[in-house]
Structure formats: C-alpha cells, structure tokens
Amino acid sequence: MNGAFWHAKWQRNEIGFHERQPNAFLIRHFPAMHLAAGSRIFLPLCGKSLDIHWLLARGYKVCGIELSDIAVRQLFAELDLVPRITATGRLRRFEAKGLCIFVGDFFDLSRQELGHVDGVYDRAALIALPAPVRQRYATHLISITDAAPQLLICLDYDQACRAGPPFSVNEAEVRRHYEDRFELTCLERQDVPGGLKGACPAMEIVWKLEPRNETAR
C-alpha cells in the first residue's frame, strides 16, 4: 500500500473513512487532554475531517498533514476559507485563520516545519498504516511533536478476518509503540455496532497518552 492507493481513493471519492459528523469519542474525551483554547493541535493524515471544524469552533488552532491535495482543497472550501499556499521542502503548506495543513508525505514533515504543538489527535492515522510502517510512523510522530500529549483512537479485531485498512492495532501494539515515552490510559472501549463492515466483531479503543517526565524516562 502506497501513496497511489490513497490518491486513487480521493480521486474516485471512495472515502468511507471520512465521518459525516465530528467523532463522538473526540467530543467525549478531548476535555481529558486539559488543553486550553488557543492550544495548537496536530492531526496526522487528517483528510478533510469534520473534527477539524469542531476543534476550530472551540478556539483551538489546528495543524495537520494530508497526502491528498483534493482532500485539503475540499477542507478549506467547506470551511469557507481561502488558504495561502507556500512551498516548504517537499511539502506545500495551506494556511488560513488558525488552520495550517501540509500537503505531502508524512515522513517528509520535520519538527522545524511543523513548529510547536500542544497536543496530537490521531483518529485514523495509525490504523490506516500496515504493520511494517506503524513503528516508523509512531517514532516520527513522537519526534516531530516533541512527544506532545495525544488522544489516540484504535481498532482491535481479528486481522485474519479482513485485510485492512483500517488495520487492527491492539493494546500490546499501542504499548510497544508508545509506552517508553508516555503514560497510557484507556479512556473507553466500545464494540463497533455490526462489527467491522459486517466482516467480524471489532472494538474501538480510546487512549490518552501523557508524556513521561524526564526522570521517568
């Protein structure tokens, strides 16, 4: 699975992963992050998520990265914003009124280009990636955000029942990727109604990741 796969999804408008309303787990659990209005929140692999609308409406600044130019242009249009577009390294940066989205490969985004962030919200990034890529993703995310606190939503199901994406990322894997740098708290577990696209039972799990202090590392 490579960039061409996701570009084709957006070109054909095959975006079943795009939720038609702000995510219920975000609404319920984002307050547990204790981030004041005005904080800058990073959404990796963000698409044109309505979660961005929700965060902006509550006074947060939002930054993200998305591979598809189509998704980003639609996001700004749906927000009725006209972005300033500039080149930065291998990426392009779209900016307007508290919103900054980079277009390009996640692994091309550096800490310097991203700038300071106060928190990370990952609803469908980690679970969009195949197993060989997920450790690299987690390591890079921690690096470019300087281990900022994170709200992470994962799926757990029998991967043998269905090929991803979305992929199954169970508790053991979440701990493998993040426990060295974060205290992990499970905020909620909920069965997916009807299972994962009717193929098998699945559970959504919401994690809060709080950075360990220096003495605990």
Q: Averaged in consecutive runs of 10 residues, what is the pLDDT profile of the chain (217 residues)? A: 71 68 97 97 96 98 96 97 97 97 97 98 96 97 98 96 93 98 98 90 97 61
Residue 1: predicted pLDDT: 53
Q: Which two tokens stand for residue 36?
A: 């004041």
Go through 194-215 and write b for each residue having 16 or more CB atoms within 10 A of its CB, e for each that does not.
eebeeeeebbbbbbbbbbeeee
Q: Which amino acid is at 107?
A: F
CB distance 99 to 52 below 8 Å: yes
Residue 110: predicted pLDDT: 98
Q: Which two tokens stand for residue 63?
A: 């930054």
> Could you tell me which of 47, 203, 191, 65 has the C-alpha nearest to residue 137?
65
Residue 216: predicted pLDDT: 40
Residue 197: predicted pLDDT: 82
pTM assigned to the model = 0.93
Task: Tell me the CA distances in angstroms from 100 to 75, 192, 213, one per residue in order.
Answer: 11, 32, 29
Q: Which residues contact 133 (CB under 8 A, 6 or more apart)?
A: none
Residue 157: predicted pLDDT: 96
Query: What radius of gyration, in Å, describes the C-alpha atoms of the chain?
Result: 17
